Amino acid sequence: MRLTAQQISFFKQFGYLAMSKLFSAAEIAVITEDFEYSIQTFGGGDSHNHERRTMFGGPIEHVPRFCSLIDDPRILGLAGSLLGEDFNYGGGDGNYYSGDTGWHPDGHWGQLFSAKIAFYLDPVTRDSGCLRVLPGSHHPENSARLSANNPSQSLEQLGILPRDYPGNVPLETVPGDVVMFNHDTWHASFGGGNRRRMFTLNLTRHCTTPADLETFRSYFKVHSAGGYRLNIGGTFFEPMLATASASRMRHLQQPIAIHDELFPEFAMRLPHEQQVAAMSEVIKKMQLAPA
């Protein structure tokens, strides 16, 4: 699978791309089964309190069958078309969401350096928690990036509710649809229930120049296990590496090297049981923290 020139231009101009029915009903049933098993067994989903978001790291990395999603030709085509065939896989997060998520970007890189692929495992609409984006807000000169026009403070600054911020696009999806967006794109969600299922894959371009490598270091200081001070013995969970082919390792090697360079104290490889135990402590603190 390859994106068309028009799809690539759309993504670069507006900072997102929605792909309808990329996965069949049968395929998404398997993906949902693996997600549910992972979040319930490893990700704190069994103690989700329906009041706070439950989030766990590396959602596809805990089950060998789920790991293979990063090898899927459609994922390779999406990421390869926009970030290059040798793109880096940098983990992701799996979620039971509760309530609204305010406007925010996931980065401030000022370029197409990193992107996120999102799977929503429940039908979501503008009134039930679908992803909303501000088209073009990834561009450094976009007005949403001016402090006086902060979308998350629109009620105080502009007298309009954040969900009504002008120009926002609700991306209504059903299971099987996939959304990809630039990390710098402002996005939000409003009106959702208390157990919305969604997981992401974080991706960057492969880095070779000194400037790109420095950007990657800055990225991984935030978007990585070590960046969250989570000691899982590296940047990926063990099943992702244990089942990796040579072609998959193409997308894992640079993140491993950069993560271990930045966080040598977390570089010792650990068995999956220890990795999950370390993550579980972080999840419990998040679930118990005051809202």
Q: Is 142 helix (H, G, I), strand (E, B) or coil?
A: coil
- Number of structural domains (the chain) is 1
User: 5-14 and 73-83 helices cross at what angle (nearest 10)?
Assistant: 60
Q: What dihedral do alpha carbons 210, 216, 222, 224 form, nearest 10°?
A: -130
User: By residue range, what is the domain housing residue 78?
Assistant: 5-288
Q: Residue 4 and residue 13: Cα distance in Å, rounded?
A: 14
Residue 180 has pLDDT above 60, yes or no: yes
Tokens encoding 222: 């935030």
The residue with greater pLDDT, 115 or 141, is: 115
Per-residue pLDDT tens digits for 249-283: 999 999 999 999 999 999 989 999 999 999 998 88
CA angle 167, 170, 176 (to 5 degrees): 150
Q: Residue 133 and residue 143: Cα distance in Å, rounded?
A: 14
289: confidence class by pLDDT, cuts 50, 70, 90: low
Task: For residue 251, give every residue at least 6 positions away whose Cβ sits within 8 Å of its Cβ, in sequence order, or none.
Answer: 70, 86, 87, 88, 89
Q: What is the pTM of this model?
A: 0.93
Residue 288 has pLDDT above 70, yes or no: no
